[in-house]
Structure 1
Amino acid sequence: MKILSVSTATNHLSVALNEDQQVIVEKNERDERNHSEHLDPLIDEILKENKLTLKDIDRFAVAIGPGSYTGLRIGITTVKMFASILDKEVVGISTLQALAKGVAGDALVIAGLDARNDNYFAGGYKSGDIPENVIPDGHYNIDALIKAIQEYAAENEVKKIVFVGSGLEKQDEKIKALNIPYEYGDDDQNVIHAGLIGKLAVSATPIDPDKLLPRYLRRTQAEVDWHKKTGKPFEPDSHYVEEV
């Protein structure tokens, strides 16, 4: 099964072609923010270099969040369009699960993206071929995240914790107080790889492209302001957690 995978969730752009669990090619651009301009050319490069067209792709996969509001919509809209027009399968993969997939060995993986002011989009995963989400993906203040890790560790044998993503090193004093061996991911582990999204996509369940939605995990300020002004309920067009 040929899978074309995309991540536009952060300032790291990643596109990959997989043949089932094998990554045929992955192309990355780091520290770029104009994904709308660069995504299509990267996809085109990969297809041409492998003598393929979009019609040859069996399944599309995309990081659905958490991540940049604008970035997520770019990637999701692109694969939804491809899947709809070509009548192909599409799957959405958690950004945090994709990060956790990059960690091998027996560990609790805390995947997190810096949301500023000591807040993180984060989740805890048991490492493995398909990382298992054991601390729910959410929008956490660092103290709440540390508490969630402590509660999980109290009920499960945690030999090592690996922190991957962005900004977690700033919390080293609080992490050290967990009294559990830990380490931080390297530069390669701390970015989202489309090839790993493709591997996770092999066993993921395809959905209707129209139902493929971003998982922001936090409402935009515009939505909060609109709700306060109108008093109308929020639209159920994404997955959120409580503001912190």
Structure 2
Amino acid sequence: MKILSVSTATNQLSVALNDGQKIIVEKNEQDQRNHSEHLDPMIDQILKDNNLSLKNIDRFAVAIGPGSYTGLRIGITTVKMFASILNKDVVGISTLEALAKSADTDGLIVAALDARNDNYFAGGYVTNENQVLQNVIPDGHYHIDDLISAINEYVEENDTKKVILLGNDLNTQNKFNELKTEYQFGNSDQNVLHAGLIGQLAENAPTVDPDELLPRYLRRTQAEVDWHKKTGKPYGSDSDYVEEV
């Protein structure tokens, strides 16, 4: 199964072509803010280099969040369009699950993205006996104190001896010293999103109708909050995937 995967969730742009679990090629651009300009040319180059066209792709996959509001929309809109026009499978993968996939450990994997002011988009994962990631601390928007509490609760209940923390700049957060077990930070390669890993997760993930592929922001945008305060109207049904903070 040929899978084309995309991540525009963070300031790194990543695109990959997989043949099932095998990553054929992955291209990455670091610290780019103009994903809308670079995504299509990157996809086009990968296809040309492998003598393929979009019609040869069996499944499209994308990181659906959390992450940059604008970035997520770019990637999701692109794969929705491809899947809809070509009548192909499409899969949405949690940004945090994709980040956790880069760690090979028998401990607890905590994937986190900075949400500012000591808040993080974070989730906890473990690899089960079938080598499948399980989400054991729900993906969510956490203040650092709540995240530490959630990790310590899991550690104590499951007698976990090791925690790996994945995500850029987590090593600047001193609060992790309050963890009640041994922990380590991911390396530079583990701390960024890789589209090839999204492709691996997508091979056995459930597909969705392209129209139902929505971003998972995990918190409301400031514009939504301001609109709600100004109008007093309830949030629309199209934002059911957003979690209030």
TM-score (norm 2): 0.96
Partner of 1:166: 168
Q: Which amino acid aligns with 1:39?
A: L
**Equivalent runs, 1:1-244 vs 2, <5 Å:** 1-127=1-127, 129-172=131-174, 174-238=175-239, 239-243=241-245
1:237 Cα deviation (Å)?
2.5
1:175 Cα deviation (Å)?
1.5
Say which is worse superposed, 150-159 or 215-224, in terms of deviation.
150-159
Moved runs in structure 1, 4+ residues, more than 3 A?
Answer: none
1:166 Cα deviation (Å)?
2.4
Q: Which amino acid aligns with 1:130?
A: V
1:105 Cα deviation (Å)?
2.0
Contact 1:14 1:28 in 2 (8 A): yes
Contact 1:15 1:28 in 2 (8 A): yes
Counting matched residue pairs gives: 242
Cα distance between partner residues in 1 of 2:208 and 2:26:
24
Cα distance between partner residues in 2 of 1:167 and 1:236:
35
Contact 1:101 1:127 in 2 (8 A): no
Q: Deviations over 1:189-226 (max 9, x none)?
A: 00000000000001100000000000000111000001
Q: Deviations over 1:104-138 (max 9, x none)?
A: 02010110000111000001111364321000000
Cα distance between partner residues in 2 of 1:51 and 1:177:
52
TM-score (norm 1): 0.97
Cα distance between partner residues in 2 of 1:167 and 1:231:
38
Contact 1:67 1:216 in 2 (8 A): yes
Partner secondary structure for residue 64 of structure 1: strand
1:233 Cα deviation (Å)?
1.3
Cα distance between partner residues in 2 of 1:222 and 1:104:
39
Partner secondary structure for residue 219 of structure 1: coil
Cα distance between partner residues in 1 of 2:160 and 2:230:
46
1:234 Cα deviation (Å)?
1.1
Contact 1:165 1:190 in 2 (8 A): yes
Partner secondary structure for residue 103 of structure 2: coil
Specify every segment of 5 or more residues in structure 2 that has no aligned partner in the other structure, as ranges: none
Cα distance between partner residues in 1 of 2:126 and 2:237:
30
Q: Deviations over 1:45-99 (max 9, x none)?
A: 0000000000000000000000000000000000000000000000000000000
1:231 Cα deviation (Å)?
1.3
Cα distance between partner residues in 1 of 2:43 and 2:55:
13
1:242 Cα deviation (Å)?
2.8
Cα distance between partner residues in 1 of 2:99 and 2:155:
21
Specify every segment of 5 or more residues in structure 1 that has no aligned partner in the other structure, as ranges: none
Q: Deviations over 1:167-207 (max 9, x none)?
A: 321223x2122231110001100000000000000110000
1:236 Cα deviation (Å)?
2.9
Percent of matched pairs sharing the same residue: 70
Contact 1:161 1:180 in 2 (8 A): yes
Q: Which amino acid aligns with 1:150?
A: N
